[in-house]
Structure 1
Amino acid sequence: MSSWADTGLFLREFVRDPLHTAAVAPSSPALAAAMTAPLLASGPHPVIVELGPGTGSFTRAIQQRIGGRGRHVAVELHPGWAQLLQERHPDVDVVRGDVRELAAILADRGVTRVDAVVSGLPWVAYTPAPGGRPLHAVITDVLAPTGVFTQFAYTWSRWAPPARRQLGDLRAHFGDVVISPTVWRNMPPAVVYEARRPR
């Protein structure tokens, strides 16, 4: 499928459900490279978890970074995208499921700790349900002490109150949060949050 066709898929989903679709178009190779750069230091047999992979922009980059080493589990709630992703990347363990059930999803696969979590989820996904746990807590539960979490945000939205709240929550759950320079070769331009030292 062409990148134009993928863009059409994203636009349709964004119009249908803008609160639960992170992007209006697939992420660029430049953003995918920035999101997955920390994986180069993830060890000889890394376990990588991808949240909300969509049509697979980050999936491709993760596969290139790990080069057939370790395991790559991708959790996607949208059934059509989960099926598309499995067809495109048969070596990836694609799970159609809710990321809030991440610990159980990984336990079913015999995984107790992961080396990296790469998230393509929208910020709204991090808002806990009434009585529920913050998604960052779900992520730190499974992340190894030396693990890394990456999340992107569009530059035009990162100063909005929801994004600022989520950044505060991210800093509450990780001891070290670094914000990348703007990735201009993405539409819209974006930054990457790289979080380490899970609390």
Structure 2
Amino acid sequence: MSNADRLKFLLAWARRPLRIASVTPSGPRLAALMTRELAPHSAPVLELGPGTGVFTRALEARGIAQRDLTLVEREAAFIPLLRARFPQATVLEGDAAEVCRYGIAHDVPYRAVVSGLPLPSLRRSDLRCLIAACLDRLAPDGAFYQFTYGPVCPVPAAMLRAFGLRAERIGTTLRNFPPAAVYRISRLGETIDGRPVPAGGRAAA
């Protein structure tokens, strides 16, 4: 990770500390954990809040082509960087909740959503809209991946129940700053041998 990326992230955090999850980009171990269940058959993938593209590069390393990635980023400073690094990806500038609602077509369902958004800082109504919009564009066996620095899933249990979702903690990395956990959020009823189906379908079992 370059010093220039760290500086861009720090400046963005200083402008909007409640909209940026951390003062530094996520580390490679968190990126590996966020994407470890994903593979080429997990495409297409929607990434929310890619920042400087740490998770995006990890998705590429898992074999997911840039053309199968849609990146939604609010911070204008990150947009030219993302378009230069991932020229074949679709890069959309705007608030993730708003872009999900109005800017993304329904014709090809996403098989995974990878979120770098600071969900605990969102208003409850905005979080509800975001989850609803993502579910509206997520394949039936797809999943929403979210990291958190807190002790529990950042989507409240009552909201999970209201949407018919389950959240499973798939791992924790202490070798990130700050230490983080990753949750897979998926629809109830999709299981393999009693376990939730990873994004990309039953071929991953």
| Unpaired segments ≥5 residues, structure 1 | none
Q: Give 1 or 2: higher helix fraction.
A: 1
Are the aligned partners of 1:151 and 1:192 in contact in 2 as well (CA < 8 Å)? yes
Q: 1-side partners of 2:169 and 2:53: how far apart?
A: 23
Amino acid at match of 2:111: D
Are the aligned partners of 1:136 and 1:169 in contact in 2 as well (CA < 8 Å)? no
Change in CA separation of 1:151 and 1:167 when aligned onto 2, cut-off 3 Å: same
Query: Does 1:175 find its partner at 2:175?
Result: no
Output aligned runs, 1:156-167, within 5 Å: 157-158=150-151, 166-167=155-156
Aligned length: 186
Are the aligned partners of 1:174 and 1:198 in contact in 2 as well (CA < 8 Å)? yes
Q: CA RMSD in A?
A: 2.5
Percent identity reads 37
Are the aligned partners of 1:103 and 1:142 in contact in 2 as well (CA < 8 Å)? no
2:51 corresponds to: 54
How far 1:139 sits from its partner (Å)? 1.1
* Structure 1 segments of 4+ aligned residues over 6 angstroms from their partners: none
Q: 1-side partners of 2:73 and 2:109: how far apart?
A: 19
Output aligned runs, 1:112-123, within 5 Å: 112-123=108-119
Query: Does 1:77 find its partner at 2:66?
Result: no
1:134 corresponds to: 129
Which stretch has the larger CA shift, 7-16 or 187-196? Answer: 7-16
How far 1:171 sits from its partner (Å)? 2.5
**Correspondence for 2:176 among 186, 189, 195:** 186
1:128 match: secondary structure: helix
2:65 match: secondary structure: coil
TM-score in terms of structure 2 length: 0.80
Are the aligned partners of 1:126 and 1:134 in contact in 2 as well (CA < 8 Å)? no
1:39 corresponds to: 38
Q: 2-side partners of 1:3 and 1:70: how far apart?
A: 25
Q: 1-side partners of 2:160 and 2:130: how far apart?
A: 13
